[in-house]
Amino acid sequence: MITEETVLHVAKLARLELTPEETHRYAQELSKILHLVDELADLDLSSSTLELVPEHPTLFREDKQTWNFDRQDLLSNTPEEENGFFRVPKILDEGN
């Protein structure tokens, strides 16, 4: 069962702000969906391991600069730009 507390925690991880109504509703809906998934609990898969044999060879790229994009084109969808930088509101934590 998914509690509202779990919903809030997950929403935080996913950077989604929820209203109290949404929190309540999602808790119910997600619980219902996970009920589907509970079927998987019947399966004993402890002995099976995932084969990690690559069926197809890795696609590589040669170490050459093959393209050049115009910065203006790339920045044309930017909500807020400053001198070719992406501008963001103040950051509160040091991050990683």
Residues 27-66 that bind other proteins (CB under 8 A): 29-30, 32-37, 39-40, 43, 45, 48, 50-66
Report residue 90 CA to chain centroid gap.
23
**Nearest-angstrom CA–CA distance, 5 and 31:** 13
Residues linked to residue 81 through DSSP beta bridges, in sequence order: 86
Q: Is 24 in the site for other proteins (CB under 8 A)?
A: no
The residue count for binding other proteins (CB under 8 A) is 70
Of 24 and 85, CB closest to other proteins: 85
**Nearest-angstrom CA–CA distance, 5 and 2:** 8
Burial class from Cβ neighbours inside 10 Å (0-12, 13-18, 19+) for residue 7 reads buried
Q: Is 82 in the site for other proteins (CB under 8 A)?
A: yes
Site residues, other proteins (CB under 8 A) = 2, 6-7, 9-11, 13-18, 22, 26, 29-30, 32-37, 39-40, 43, 45, 48, 50-67, 69, 71, 73-80, 82-96
